[in-house]
Structure 1
């Protein structure tokens, strides 16, 4: 990115934040803080009214706005692709707002940019695993309303199936964040019943209601730190699995473990070293690869896969007792 584009981008950052620090600007553009100071000084000399708040950061003088900035083809394409991905993982409430926002973006594009996006949409598709229609209906309008509860700090009453076993508990929670990971949306909230932070999967919400009650506190809560601590606090078990090369694309797309490292072996297969929080889940998932996978370590996981194979064979043995053996 050249300096002119970066200076324009810094104005947009200032315009989109009430206050932003030099460190945040530096991290956004992957430049040094000293370079940020030089860029801010250059903008000030050019007449951009930047206000420095001691101990807070930088902001634009109230009432100052840049003229609308025209999107390049790459920027418009990036917005389109982001929208296509969000269509796959969002609920209907978020999709409606996203479609409306992208429609407004299209409306300010010149004809050649709109034609470019039309051609792109015809030639580009994003397909991700989706929940069933019934589950989509059950979570209808959940995401946007829960996001609003987080921002407005509104207590929320939940009826929650904690273990997905049909044992429903009623909770009053103080919602602090919404995050998408492991192919599911999660609500991170302070649970008054457990008196601790809890992670609630949205697909396990039986019913919920945002109340008029506001809550205080949790000013020092960090969503990123909570998630990192949750991963570190989980008992992770190292595992080494060897896959045939033809299934590696699927492995990379589906393996939901903490960390993985791939090593190409001399025979062309791939050794994958990973950390998992559930050997049972990993064993069941590995069974779906049939003979294209081999567990190297730990022996407990190898034994689990072997036992599952025997159980599957035994479960299907009776179906062939009365079928004559076919000779080839």
Structure 2
């Protein structure tokens, strides 16, 4: 399969996703989204129809899937599922209760199509994440995705950490929870160097490596941690 074939297959899959998530979509919408010509979209729709996907054309309006037709659930990668769980924590800070209700119900439906292993990990991450609004919107870390992975799969993680005195130390940690209560994300982890739970600011982690060795899952919940230590 050459590069053009790969791109087209990716686009066809993405068009299927759009058809599942929107009531009606036009060829021009799709052309704009995928940066191709409308003629290319016409060919893509025809290819999907020939593959057995019942796409209906509403004259002058756009395309819609036949009512009642169900495409097999789209499988999320673990990192995509984790990103959705993190987004849920952001939504929970919204002031509108109806918006929260709708979003959490949508997340439940998304979790329903995950494989059981990913579902368990998504639920664990949801239980181990706390968020408060970051008012200045500054992006000051790029380790959250890797830490989510280490946390839910119980992998030891090696970090080079810079403390308040600007001293760098190398630590082996057991990620426990992610919290955002200030302008910076904080990682709660068992530090093997200090033999105790410690907070680590993500913006002070200079280098990070998720190791292949696993640690034993921490038995307590995040709330039990707060009750015990604060």
Q: Give the TM-score normalised by structure 1.
A: 0.35
Larger relative contact order (Cα-Cα within 8 Å, sequence gap ≥ 6):
2
TM-score of the pair, normalised by structure 2 = 0.47
